[in-house]
Structures are given as C-alpha cells and as structure tokens.
Amino acid sequence: MSRAILQHGARLEWAEVDVDEPGPGEVRIRVVASALNRADLAQRAGLYPPPPGASPILGLECAGFVEVAGDGVADWAPGDPVCALLAGGGFAERVVCPAAQLLAPPPGISLVEAATLPEVWATAWSNLVDLAGIAAGRQVLIHAGASGVGLAALQLSRLRGVRAFALAGTPLRQEVCRQFGAEATADRRGNWADSVRAWAPGGVSAILDPVGGSAFESNLSLLATDGTLVLIGLLGGPSSSIDLARLLVKRLTVRGSALRSRTPAEKGRILQGLSLEVWPAFADGRVIPTVDAALPITEVERGMAMLASNQVVGKIALVMPDAA
C-alpha cells in the first residue's frame, strides 16, 4: 500500500491507496516531494478534470527516485533521482508515469526544489519558445509575473536575451519580477496597458497570459505586427469581444495552450529542450528555483489557501512524510 491525497467532495484526505505497477515504457517513482499549481485548485473545484486515463489524484509534477522500471525502459534504473512532469497523481507517495516525462534534477538542486520545476518550466518553454518563438532582442509581456510560471518565463526570457515587461499585484511582487529579469513592471490592477505601450511603443512580440477574457482586448492592442498572444488560463473569465480587423491588419496570432493533455512524446520533446538549454543554467546559477514555502503534504489545504490568496511568490512544494 501507499498513501495519497484523496478528494471526497470538497474534503481532502491523506489515505491509503493501491500501488500501481508500471507498464511498458513507464516507471514508478517513490515521491519525495510534489508541488502545487493553479491547475490543482481548478481540478479540486471541478473545473479541470484529468485527461482520459490519467490518475484522478491531484499533482502535476514531482521529484523522487525511480522504484521500478517497466519493460523497454533503458535510460532509467531503480534508485535514479528524477523529477517528472505528470498528467496527475503527484500528491502521492508513489506515482507511475511514462519514462519520456522524466528528467534528472539539475546539478546542485535538491529534490524538494526539483519537484517545483517541471510544470512551470515546461509551460514557459512550450509557450514562449515553441509557440511564440521568442528570440534575442524581442519584447514580451508576462502576466502574473510573480507566479511560478511567471518567474520561470522571466528567467527564460533573460536567458534568451529577450526584454520582458511583467505585471504583478503589489510593489513587492513587482520588485521580485525585476530581480528575476523584468526590465519594467506595472500593477495588474491599474492602467497597465498604457504602461506597456509607453515601454514598447511599437508593440510586443509575444504575450503570455493566464488571465483571458478581461485582458484579451488590451492584449491584442499591445501586440506588434506578426505578434503572438498565448492564452494559458482564464482567471479573468472565458469570453471577450474581439476586434477582428486588428487581427487581420497586424497579422496577429492567438494560440490557446494546455500542457496537461499533450502526449508523452510531446512532453518528452519539451523536457529535452529544457535539459539542453535550461538545466545547465541551473547548474551555473543563471536561473534558480523559486520556492516560496515547503509544506508537509498533509498541510495541502493550507498550501492551497496560500496559493488562492495570490500572495505566493513562485511555488509551494509539498513534502512527503519520511521523504529522506
């Protein structure tokens, strides 16, 4: 038997569950730590169900040790330290996932820190590099800049020589954004569009947006010709008016993006990009983990309340009992 966070209506319980065996191409991980993401809050509220076949247990990332390697797994062996991008199941002492979705933790990074990396860095990479094609000298706008995804996106932008403008809700959070690579910032609750327009009179090349409806029209107005808006969330609502003429005249691209439902092969390709470009930057300190708090997994309710309050800077790690 193993233990996991199980959901019963609105109640979460740390309880025993059966231990799954890995199939071909899969591994089972003994989890040391997982991490909270806003997707966990949405799933708990019934707004973000797991993809078909995925574990119903919360948790989209983890770090730990390979416990069992299934048939056909050649790159990983029992005892190997790993961090993993999951479709679910991370809030558990053991989880099974495709071997393609594993990375070795960056050198010098603890397993608790490593547990907070896969989801936010894969999100930043897949959207800014793969979809928006950010390149040196370009300008980007990052909404929710002090979030886990936001701080990863700011560090990735700096790593690639991209100028970044970040939105955040308090002066302290804006200062954190500047420390992590933002050239300029503004209060997300104020007249932020004018501030961005003054910073980039010709428009920005790309926008990473978890807000959606309430920011949509302003986002379109701020894009440069051939710019890309990547929509990764709907915190500001699911609907908005669209100026179709603006799309035509400026040749704009609007991309909706979700990481969780991608195939293991697609996720593996994203992780390989991180392994080649970002993981070495962790090793030499050019980018760093952003752990706001590390809580026992049994305090997941407290962590969710912290995350929902919008006061967390970066990530909250959830540490398993007897994780050493």
Per residue in 278-301, pLDDT (tens digit) is: 999 999 999 999 999 999 999 999
Nearest to 121 by CA among 264, 295, 257, 273: 273
* Helix boundaries (H) for 200-253: 213-222, 244-250
Mean pLDDT of 6-22: 94
Euclidean distance between CA atoms 103 and 65, whole angstroms? 11
Residue 237 has pLDDT above 90, yes or no: no
Task: Specify whether domain 2-117+260-319 bears CATH 3.90.180.10.
Answer: yes
* 8 Å CB contact between 263 and 288: no
CATH code of 121-256, in short, is 3.40.50.720
Mean pLDDT of 77-97: 98
Q: Quick one: how far is CA 204 from the chain centroid?
A: 22
Q: What is the pTM of this model?
A: 0.95
What's the chain's Rg over C-alpha atoms? 19
Euclidean distance between CA atoms 286 and 15, whole angstroms? 40
Least confident of 34-38, 95-99, 234-238: 234-238
Task: Specify the pLDDT at position 324.
Answer: 54
Boundaries of every domain in the chain: 2-117+260-319, 121-256
Least confident of 19-23, 142-146, 240-244: 240-244
Same CATH fold assignment for domains 2-117+260-319 and 121-256? no
Strands (E) in the chain, as ranges, are: 2-8, 11-17, 26-35, 61-69, 81-85, 94-98, 102-103, 139-142, 163-168, 184-187, 204-209, 223-231, 253-256, 291-296, 315-319
DSSP notation for 48-78 = SPPPTTS-SSS-SEEEEEEEEE-TT--S--T
Residue 236 has pLDDT above 80, yes or no: no
Mean pLDDT of 132-138: 95
What percent of the chain is modeled with pLDDT above 70?
Answer: 100
Residue 18 has pLDDT above 60, yes or no: yes
The 10s digit of each residue's pLDDT in 30-70 is: 999 999 999 999 999 999 999 999 999 999 999 999 999 99
